[in-house]
């Protein structure tokens, strides 16, 4: 029985990728592999990019709109709020992170 490839993937010819296209390809693959493991959020914050499932490209983090609920990411979403209990214990933690 001859071997048949299961995924029928095509790979570009050697030397046709640039650094930017290779990086985007790796990030897309990482996005698809880890999207249900709650890891992509940390990639989005670290890289300040979000994957747009409609255009299959990466958007800027700030201003990215989620298609399922219509919410838009803002600058404040790059940081978590400081916990109130920690701010009460240590007054040197003021001011709160922007947007909270």
Span 26-47, average pLDDT: 88
Q: How far, in Å, are 29, 37, 58, 62, 68 from residue 54 at the CA level?
A: 16, 21, 10, 17, 11
Task: Return the ∠ at Cα 76 (arms to 82 and 44), rounded to 5°.
Answer: 105
Predicted confidence band of residue 81 (pLDDT cuts 50, 70, 90): very high
Predicted confidence band of residue 15 (pLDDT cuts 50, 70, 90): confident
**pLDDT score for 63:** 95
**pLDDT score for 5:** 58
């Amino acid at each position: 029985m001859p071997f048949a490839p299961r995924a029928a993937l095509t790979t570009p010819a050697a030397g046709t990728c640039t650094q930017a296209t290779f990086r985007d390809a790796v990030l897309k693959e990482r996005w698809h592999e880890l999207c249900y493991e709650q890891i992509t959020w940390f990639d989005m914050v670290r890289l300040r990019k979000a994957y747009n499932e409609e255009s299959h490209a990466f958007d800027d983090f700030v201003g990215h709109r989620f298609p399922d609920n219509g919410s838009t990411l803002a600058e404040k979403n790059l940081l978590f709020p400081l916990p109130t209990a920690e701010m009460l214990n240590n007054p040197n933690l003021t001011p709160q992170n922007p947007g909270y």
